[in-house]
Amino acid sequence: QQQVKQSPQSLIVQKGGISIINCAYENTAFDYFPWYQQFPGKGPALLIAIRPDVSEKKEGRFTISFNKSAKQFSLHIMDSQPGDSATYFCAAGKLSFGAGTTVTVRA
Amino acid sequence: DGGITQSPKYLFRKEGQNVTLSCEQNLNHDAMYWYRQDPGQGLRLIYYSQIVNDFQKGDIAEGYSVSREKKESFPLTVTSAQKNPTAFYLCASSRGAASTDTQYFGPGTRLTVL
């Protein structure tokens, strides 16, 4: 069974807009929540990560919001750029990944 | 130039044949992993190894085998017992087994069974 549920499966956003991807997990033992970015034909690369004792983490245009009580976390991409077009995966712990969200940024 | 290399990039196999995917890292990482990626299903763990000469099954190990004879190498064999092997295979490594140890992924091998 999938331990991490990710939505939406895909989204399209205009350049300059905000992309929001949501994830929910089940196991409260997870202590690390990374997000990965993957371009077509390439391997994923770590984008940003958060520990459960923090409610928000921001790195440049990328922000993770974390709600421990709801067991949910989300990735916000501010001022989305065409170069952000990629597939994004959330993960809980090291080995449990969401199904991925394909983000397309229209110029 | 440190990193993870996977070869070949594309691989074609006839049904009933075993095939081995290569994964090498020069990051001096202790832990290595194999994932399978299918459209809409994210990354699913096949096998992982935390140290040389030791490895554990992941969520979908059936039909696959691995070895870890050297720290830098973690080859994956897709056997004929794997019923649906066509997929994108990703190898990764991390410094250690802690959940906060970043995983670094290779460029992947796309396997197609004809």
Number of helices and strands (H, E) in chain A? 0, 11
Average pLDDT score over chain A:
95
Sign of torsion over alpha carbons A49, A51, A56, A59: negative
In order, the DSSP letters of B31-73 are EEEEEEE-TTS-EEEEEEEEETTEEEE-TT-TTEEE--SBTTB
**Nearest CB to B100: which of A32, A89, A95?**
A32
Cis peptide bond N-terminal to A8, omega within 30: yes
Task: Take residue A81 and report the two structure tokens written for it.
Answer: 């750029």
Looking up tokens 């997990």 gives A25
In order, the DSSP letters of A61-75 are TEEEEEETTTTEEEE
Cross-chain Cβ contact B101/A95 below 8 Å: no
Mean pLDDT for A73-97 is 96
Using DSSP bridges, classify how beta strands B31-37 and B19-25 pair: parallel, antiparallel or unpaired.
Answer: unpaired
Residue in chain B nearest A50 by alpha carbon: B100
pLDDT at residue B42, rounded to an integer:
87
Q: Which residues of chain B have pLDDT under 70?
A: 1-2
Sign of torsion over alpha carbons A81, A35, A21, B38: positive
Which is nearest to B20 in space by CA: B72, B61, B66? B66
pLDDT band at A1 (very low <50, low <70, confident <90, very high): low
pLDDT at residue A19, rounded to an integer:
97
CB < 8 Å from A in window 78-97 of B? 90, 92, 94
Mean pLDDT for A81-92 is 97
Are B45 and B60 in contact, with CB atoms under 8 Å apart?
A: yes
pLDDT band at A2 (very low <50, low <70, confident <90, very high): low
pLDDT at residue B2, rounded to an integer:
64
pLDDT at residue B57, rounded to an integer:
97
Q: Whole-angstrom Cα distance, residue B57 to residue B84? A: 18
